[in-house]
Chain A
Amino acid sequence: NAGVTQTPKFRILKIGQSMTLQCAQDMNHNYMYWYRQDPGMGLKLIYYSVGAGITDKGEVPNGYNVSRSTTEDFPLRLELAAPSQTSVYFCASIGTGESYEQYFGPGTRLTVT
């Protein structure tokens, strides 16, 4: 299994541009999450999904959108990028067993200038 994969690894955007961060998992996990991590601030939940076709907002959803058309993929869309969206973005998934152990992707480092 590749686990949780994210693309791209790095990206620089100009203010007002849009982009999609890709996330995929090959473990047949139902639950998937998007977090952002700012220096010294811990991880903040942006959006999450409990299955294909079902998404919900987390703590910091403004400026982002998600979709979940398949179990494997959970893309995060940034519309009209702003400097405040400069951060490291992590995608994660949770298995369907009882433990709810969370698996993380390697992250996407985004800079908005």
Chain B
Amino acid sequence: KQEVTQIPAALSVPEGENLVLNCSFTDSAIYNLQWFRQDPGKGLTSLLLIQSSQREQTSGRLNASLDKSSGRSTLYIAASQPGDSATYLCAVIAGNQFYFGTGTSLTVIP
């Protein structure tokens, strides 16, 4: 069974700092990997999607990488801002199902 782990569970950084969130998965037979943002009491917003044939995707200050062979993905956030404070989840799709990590709660301190 696919297991997805996110480390750290919580992270607090000062504004302006660059940071990396980690996601690991146990079965490399994935179709794609998707990073989401979730604000308190809200639904999930898609940030980046990386297909299994790709190595990375970029959107603005966000860069996500994927290493299927090692079962790892990272989400890099450049020049963090207080508005980046949220929970970040990664999910892998295998077969017809998505498997989610438990998320990293990010706080950016002004």
- Interface residues of chain A, those whose CB is within 8 Å of chain B, are 31, 33, 35, 40-43, 45, 48, 50, 56, 58, 90, 92, 98-107, 109
- A31-B96 Cα distance, complex, nearest whole Å: 8
Complex contact B100–A43 (CB within 8 A):
yes
Interchain CB contact under 8 A, B98 and A102:
yes
A31-B96, A101-B49, A102-B46 known; 17 new pairs, CB 8 Å cut-off, are: A33-B98, A40-B102, A42-B4, A42-B100, A42-B101, A43-B91, A90-B43, A92-B44, A92-B98, A99-B49, A100-B49, A102-B91, A103-B46, A104-B45, A104-B46, A105-B43, A106-B42
Q: Does B64 reach chain A (CB closer than 8 Å)?
A: no
Q: 8 Å CB contacts to A: which residues of B1-56?
A: 4, 31-32, 34, 36, 41-46, 49, 51
CB distance from A43 to the nearest CB of B (A): 4
A25 to chain B minimum Cβ distance, whole angstroms, is 13
Mind listing 18 A-B residue pairs with CB under 8 Å? A33-B98, A42-B101, A42-B103, A43-B89, A45-B97, A50-B96, A56-B96, A92-B44, A98-B51, A99-B49, A99-B51, A100-B31, A100-B32, A101-B49, A102-B46, A103-B46, A104-B36, A106-B43
